[in-house]
Structure 1
């Protein structure tokens, strides 16, 4: 080995030794100079979390206030004064009317006052408009007594118009809830068997079923709120059954109340009730399909058969007329 090669090898060993010693000193001394940023970072995260929490609380408070105003809006002062002046709540209102309004989705004092106000105003308006239209505009060739009877008939229609409208709203909401209830039962069964509480299951099901039935989602959210705030959970379940008025919902409510009273598992009961509600929905669809042909008989006889007879008989009738 030459002298130059020996010197080069010595330089290489020295460089490696310096790197090793420098790395060792760096590994030993750097922890002494490093700052502990964990506490600072945790503090900043805590401050940010508090800011987000305060901001979300303000937003939710404003949102709840707006929803409270929308759902529990107070009646107009003129309507309230009119109803209170003539004590219409005592004369026309009863528990059945209040329950119907709740089933139709109208809650609070404002819908009740509006309903009672319309039951008095609409008959008078219908009577006056009908009498004016028949007597002044059309000038019908009839006695004043006949016009008065027709106007009185219009007043009767105006009196029952609010009740008919509310009943139609009840039927529409019940149809929406009835169609979505079996699917909601399946989701509720999954939530309960996964270990969720009834309140959490109601909330989750309401979020998932809202696109299919807004009415059902609204009722489940109200039931969740009542379960959290009412002293008796039984009352919250009973209110849910009363607001919907459906046998399927009442059966589930009874099962939930018995499960909480006796401590029995709710999963098996929900599974059986889910199957029953699904079968009931299928039977309802089959019943409507079976009732369709009799309903089509009269329209076919009135509209389809005359046109068919004209198409079949008209050529022969034209030929007979040309011959004779």
Structure 2
């Protein structure tokens, strides 16, 4: 008798709400919650050192600077600087087609540096993608739409819009990706810059040199702000190897797309040139950066009510109505049936 009851319950299904099986919804939500818990446990167990991936690039930069000082011939220096066959082929193709411009190349290299990508050879890949991807994506879309007859229900204008969108996406795809990396990295550096300046002030007042101060701050900020620690560590290396210390500070401003960093670089250059007190100048900069960070936080807090309106209407209120009115609707449905 019990088996017959279970079979009958499985056949009829569980309770429904607005035509939706409640048991199936609960099963799906439980599966999603289980997957989220497993992912959270995996993310917590596999935490890695944020500076581990950056140590290799810093060591390569150190070896390149050593090669520029100690190596006497071009061949010896070439042994230190590794070449990439793929980017060499791309560069050869671009040069043969006479589409490679110096200002375009330097702009792409600076954007890659601001995105945290140290290899300058990848600039050829970015420029090459602007030439190849529009042909590949645009040609593929044209072949699929006009040759193979895809999207037959679309009007001619809609078909041309899909083709144009694929072509534009191929041309701007690499730039959008690099720009996204720059924006994220710049925001992370902006958050940690006031704390880094405070640590530089403490190091300067303790009597450390500028090289040692940058190295010490990069070590202290390695876990909290790895991007900023990476830049400070690289600046410390360049201060120890480059013949002109001014060039090391200018390289820092070149690699970071942030006006605050340019202000710090200008202060450091003036301090090196005129011998002005470093701690007092950095303390003023730190106060300005903290005020700017506070203003940004207040601006985000002021926008929060307007931003939360749409999620409140779409997600929170319907769930609240279901929780409040759901049991009553189920009771009324059972009473009527």
**TM-score normalised per structure 2:** 0.65
Q: Shift of the alpha carbon at 1:230?
A: 3.0
**Given the superposition, is the C-alpha separation of residues 153 and 179 from structure 1 closer, same or farther in structure 2, using an over 3 Å criterion?**
same
**Given the superposition, is the C-alpha separation of residues 291 and 255 from structure 1 closer, same or farther in structure 2, using an over 3 Å criterion?**
same
Matched, 1:153 2:165: yes
Q: Tell me, yes or no, if the aligned pair for 1:176 and 1:213 is still in contact at 8 Å.
A: yes
**Given the superposition, is the C-alpha separation of residues 283 and 139 from structure 1 closer, same or farther in structure 2, using an over 3 Å criterion?**
closer
Q: Shift of the alpha carbon at 1:71?
A: 9.1
Q: Shift of the alpha carbon at 1:133?
A: 4.0
Equivalent-residue separation in structure 2 for 1:240 and 1:102 (angstroms): 10
Q: Shift of the alpha carbon at 1:311?
A: 8.7
Q: Shift of the alpha carbon at 1:218?
A: 1.9
- SS of 1:89's partner is coil
Equivalent-residue separation in structure 2 for 1:289 and 1:171 (angstroms): 21
Q: CA RMSD in A?
A: 3.4
Equivalent-residue separation in structure 2 for 1:248 and 1:237 (angstroms): 13
Counterpart position of 2:251 = 239
Give the helix-richer structure, 1 or 2.
1
Instruction: Find the partner of 2:210 among 177, 191, 198.
Output: 198
Q: Shift of the alpha carbon at 1:137?
A: 6.9
Instruction: Find the partner of 1:176 among 188, 191, 212.
Output: 188
Equivalent-residue separation in structure 2 for 1:157 and 1:274 (angstroms): 41
Equivalent-residue separation in structure 1 for 2:102 and 2:140 (angstroms): 26
Following superposition of structure 1 onto structure 2, how do residues 94-113 of structure 1 map, counting pairs within 5 Å? 95-113=106-124
Q: Shift of the alpha carbon at 1:104?
A: 0.8
Counterpart position of 2:270 = 258
Q: Shift of the alpha carbon at 1:214?
A: 2.2
Equivalent-residue separation in structure 2 for 1:169 and 1:130 (angstroms): 28
Equivalent-residue separation in structure 2 for 1:199 and 1:72 (angstroms): 28
State the structure with more CA Rg: 1
Runs of 5+ consecutive residues of structure 1 not aligned to the other structure:
1-59, 320-324
**TM-score normalised per structure 1:** 0.68
Q: Shift of the alpha carbon at 1:232?
A: 2.7
Greater Cα offset, 199-208 or 130-139? 130-139
Matched, 1:90 2:94: no
Counterpart position of 2:84 = 74
Q: Shift of the alpha carbon at 1:159?
A: 0.6
Q: Tell me, yes or no, if the aligned pair for 1:259 and 1:266 is still in contact at 8 Å.
A: yes
Aligned length, in residue pairs: 259
**Given the superposition, is the C-alpha separation of residues 306 and 72 from structure 1 closer, same or farther in structure 2, using an over 3 Å criterion?**
farther
Counterpart position of 2:8 = none
Q: Shift of the alpha carbon at 1:144?
A: 6.3
Q: Shift of the alpha carbon at 1:79?
A: 2.1
**Given the superposition, is the C-alpha separation of residues 175 and 300 from structure 1 closer, same or farther in structure 2, using an over 3 Å criterion?**
same
Equivalent-residue separation in structure 1 for 2:131 and 2:178 (angstroms): 16
Equivalent-residue separation in structure 2 for 1:285 and 1:126 (angstroms): 41
Runs of 5+ consecutive residues of structure 2 not aligned to the other structure:
1-55, 65-78, 333-337
**Given the superposition, is the C-alpha separation of residues 238 and 291 from structure 1 closer, same or farther in structure 2, using an over 3 Å criterion?**
same
Counterpart position of 2:130 = 119
Equivalent-residue separation in structure 2 for 1:212 and 1:137 (angstroms): 54
Q: Shift of the alpha carbon at 1:96?
A: 3.4
Q: Shift of the alpha carbon at 1:269?
A: 1.2
**Given the superposition, is the C-alpha separation of residues 311 and 242 from structure 1 closer, same or farther in structure 2, using an over 3 Å criterion?**
same
Q: Shift of the alpha carbon at 1:262?
A: 1.5
Instruction: Find the partner of 1:276 among 260, 263, 288.
Output: 288
Q: Shift of the alpha carbon at 1:129?
A: 2.9
